[in-house]
Structure 1
């Protein structure tokens, strides 16, 4: 569904999704702010307020990016042709689901860091990434940072598996 408003600006599924995420995030943020409890580090209100605030900011940025006119879209509108970027097909959600199932199985045997690294690379490839070096770097750095954050800062232990830190 695409409704043209002016060259380079359109209301499509991404715009509607961003608007819906912004509305839901705003409602959840309002609920988190109004909840009872302490805002301290050990209190029950800080984490929901921080997370929903980040959600609202991300949704607002996404909505603004969708509504901004894009120069290449204006040129295409003048030329009279539409060009959609290559997007993953209908099999991508099944690929992500299979990767998630593999992550859940590997988590028990290989631990969080290895499982998350494999999941990150496979999911990026399924969703259309063609930069393997970037995928591998992110797949190494991100799970290690998450693992150390949870185990060292939050005292929440994730499965160490074959790569204990």
Structure 2
């Protein structure tokens, strides 16, 4: 084979990869562009929503109701453009160095399902039992799902935390949370 034939040979066949594989590789190396597209779409959505706000609001002060959403939408567009430019120039996000996890291990679905169950139980029981009781069950369920197995301390902390949270919101902040039958007795 002469040198001109070697130069004409497709590099992808020499390396053993197809053009489709090299396109996939490019997208893997530039996967942050997905975040850029999401930020851009979110910025457009915020701007369109802000610009279609009715103008008959009572304005208090120099800024109207459109000012903050327009600023946020514009900043989202600017950030998406700057991030896309950085990614296309070879910039990459750094891997999480501070996390104490092994990324090669699969997701612990038992923990995810237990946490989801505790949250959904809270949502289903809040009107029936009230915020303190349903939240205590959620806090205790979350502690159990994350590995705490102390049968005295965990429910006690969950109960105190939920009652204190209910009191702070209901009494100090004026946000009415359902107390349920337990709070009617107190």
TM-score, normalized by length of structure 2? Answer: 0.40
Structure number with the bigger relative contact order (C-alpha 8 A, sep ≥ 6) is 1
Q: Which has the higher strand share?
A: 1
TM-score, normalized by length of structure 1? Answer: 0.45
